[in-house]
Structure 1
Amino acid sequence: MLSQTHRFKRPLLLLLAAASCAVTSGCCGRRRELRQAKLRTMQMYQQCQQLGGQLSQAHSSAAQLAAEKQKYEQLANQLQGNLDTANERIANLSNERSQIQDQYKNMLTGLTPSNNPLNSSANRKFEELARKYPEFEFDPTTGVSRFNGDLLFASGSDEIQSKGSKVLQEFVRIMNEEDSRQFHVLVVGHTDDMEVVKSTTRANHPTNWDLSAHRATSVVKSMAKMGLGEPRMGVAGYSKYQQAAANKDDASRQQNRRVEIFVLAPDAVIAGVEPGRRS
């Protein structure tokens, strides 16, 4: 009887032990899962903290960039305003310069820009001369002829070159024709802004004043030899102070080295004795 009891008790104990192990194993599994869940939660929290810091830094950078953008936009607007003001000033100065040039031409010729003393036939001849010699210019509105200085003279010289003499000869021929014979001329010399530095040039033309006046005088003397009456001519020199273009490069300086010939009506008064009062 006792042996049977032991025989049944042992399997029961084994069953209870197995059940206990199963319960213990189940509890251990849940605690491990709980720890892993807590670990994942902590990791996610840390990641959220990092992302939050990065987001805050990004917001701060964005705000700083926005402030800098606004500052540069204000600066750009200010510079644009300054540029607009400068352009407006340049336009005003350009208009003033054009007005002064017109007044200067009117003062020299005693004519309005729309009242060229030359008749249509003489105008046409001078226009044909300008087409024949590109370095010779003629303004049919004012009757002003312009010779590029490099056409007439070598650098620093007041001696007329052969190619310039050809143009002057044709100019004199037109001025001596029947429909132009009554007109006078004023020859005006101009230089660029480069000072006279060569000793050989300074010996004859110490300053640009001298060079401009000497060149104009040389043109008058040459035209006199070609047959244009001396009483019909006058001379002026303006040194570097009557620019045709800003002296910023060789091309613009070449435009400023020039001799201009203003055709004057017989009764035009520039300086000196008025017509009708000559002795």
Structure 2
Amino acid sequence: MTNTLRIVALVAVSGLALGGCASTERDRLEQINQTSAARIEQLNQENQALQLALQRKDSRIAELEGDVRGLQGVRTDLQRQIGDVRSQQASIADQLGNLRFAALDPETDRAIQQLAAQHQDIIRYDPARGMLQFTSDLTFDSGSDVVRPAARDGLQALARILNGSSASGYDLRIVGHTDNQPISSAATRQKFGTNRHLSAYRAIAVEEVLRQAGMSPTRLEIAGWGEFRPLVPNAARGGTAQNRRVEIFVVPGSPSSGAVESAPAPTEPAAQPASRPEMPMK
């Protein structure tokens, strides 16, 4: 009897212990389940955010691809335009290459050749182009637009030739040039500003001498190229004398120039401009 009671008691205690263990395990599993559910919800939210970001990225990529297609179209159009411009340039170059300058009449050509021979230090004559080139370094003082006396004599002689009957049908195109060295003198820079301005002022000064010598202003055209039409590459250190020049082209007169009538010679000698201080060579 006593043993039986002992066994019953032992079984009861064991049952209670097992029940407590089962309850603890169930609580632990429920906690794990809740934690897992919360983690799954968090991951779902993160996944939704990533999906939205991916959609935005895809949309941006599509927008950029559209921009690229548009730019490719612009590039194609620009390449076509560049090709057209190059074709036009080639056509113009061919036309210029086929141009031939009209030769001057023998009397005028001979007179200008004699003039150039008399002023070899200042004037170079190209009969094929009907062009006289006056060296700027000998025609003007450095940084100045006042024609020197020796060059003035040559220009006055040229005016007499052009006012002759055989040359009355010609006009003159006067073009100033400089080297590529910037104007260093403050006084020169204040007056002329740039090389282009200086070259234009020098062309104007030559035009004034010719006009004062009796040539009609309707026969005289002036221009200034500055450093932008060099004869030879400019030296890296300092200016290049060959590029500092004034060119005078003898060209057929236009109907509106009134070149068939010579302007009357001035009755009074032209006033000489005041001398100016020496400035760095341009």
Could you tell me the TM-score, scaled by structure 2's length? 0.54
User: Between Structure 1 and Structure 2, how many residues are aligned?
Assistant: 166
Pair 1:126-2:106 in alignment: no
**CA displacement at 1:113 relative to structure 2:** 2.9
Q: Residue 124 of structure 1 aligns to which amino acid in structure 2? A: R
Correspondence for 1:174: 161
Correspondence for 1:163: 150
Q: Deviations over 1:6-38 (max 9, x none)?
A: xxxxxxxxxxxxxxxxxxxxxxxxxxxxxxxxx
The runs of 5 or more residues in structure 2 that have no matched partner are: 1-91, 259-282
Distance in 2 (CA, whole Å) between partners of 1:274 and 1:133 is: 29
Is the Cα contact below 8 Å between 2:101 and 2:130 reproduced in 1?
Answer: no
Correspondence for 1:195: 182
Is the Cα contact below 8 Å between 1:245 and 1:252 reproduced in 2?
Answer: no
For residues 3-82 of structure 1, the aligned pairs below 5 Å read none
Change (3 A) 1:214 1:184: same
Pair 1:218-2:219 in alignment: no
Q: Deviations over 1:80-106 (max 9, x none)?
A: xxxxxxxxxxxxxxxxxxx97x94xx9
Distance in 2 (CA, whole Å) between partners of 1:180 and 1:274 is: 14
Distance in 2 (CA, whole Å) between partners of 1:244 and 1:128 is: 24
Is the Cα contact below 8 Å between 2:196 and 2:225 reproduced in 1?
Answer: yes
For residues 92-103 of structure 1, the aligned pairs below 5 Å read 103=96
Q: Deviations over 1:47-68 (max 9, x none)?
A: xxxxxxxxxxxxxxxxxxxxxx
Question: Pairwise CA RMSD of aligned residues?
Answer: 2.7
Change (3 A) 1:191 1:120: same
Correspondence for 1:78: none
Q: Deviations over 1:195-241 (max 9, x none)?
A: 01101111211100110111001111111111111000111110101
Is the Cα contact below 8 Å between 1:146 and 1:261 reproduced in 2?
Answer: yes
Q: Deviations over 1:134-171 (max 9, x none)?
A: 12011111111111111210111101111110110111
**CA displacement at 1:115 relative to structure 2:** 2.1
Distance in 2 (CA, whole Å) between partners of 1:166 and 1:218 is: 14
The SS at the match of 2:174 is strand
**CA displacement at 1:132 relative to structure 2:** 1.2
The SS at the match of 1:179 is helix
Q: Residue 158 of structure 2 aligns to which amino acid in structure 1? A: F
Pair 1:115-2:74 in alignment: no
The SS at the match of 2:210 is helix
From 204, 209, 215, the counterpart of 2:196 = 209
Is the Cα contact below 8 Å between 1:246 and 1:252 reproduced in 2?
Answer: no
Q: Identify which range, 202-211 or 246-255, moves more after superposition.
A: 246-255
Change (3 A) 1:263 1:157: same
Larger Rg: 1
Q: Residue 115 of structure 1 aligns to which amino acid in structure 2? A: A
Correspondence for 1:267: 254
Is the Cα contact below 8 Å between 2:172 and 2:251 reproduced in 1?
Answer: yes
Change (3 A) 1:251 1:206: closer
Could you tell me the TM-score, scaled by structure 1's length? 0.55
Correspondence for 2:277: none
Correspondence for 1:23: none
Q: Residue 176 of structure 1 aligns to which amino acid in structure 2? A: N
**CA displacement at 1:182 relative to structure 2:** 1.4
Change (3 A) 1:241 1:131: same
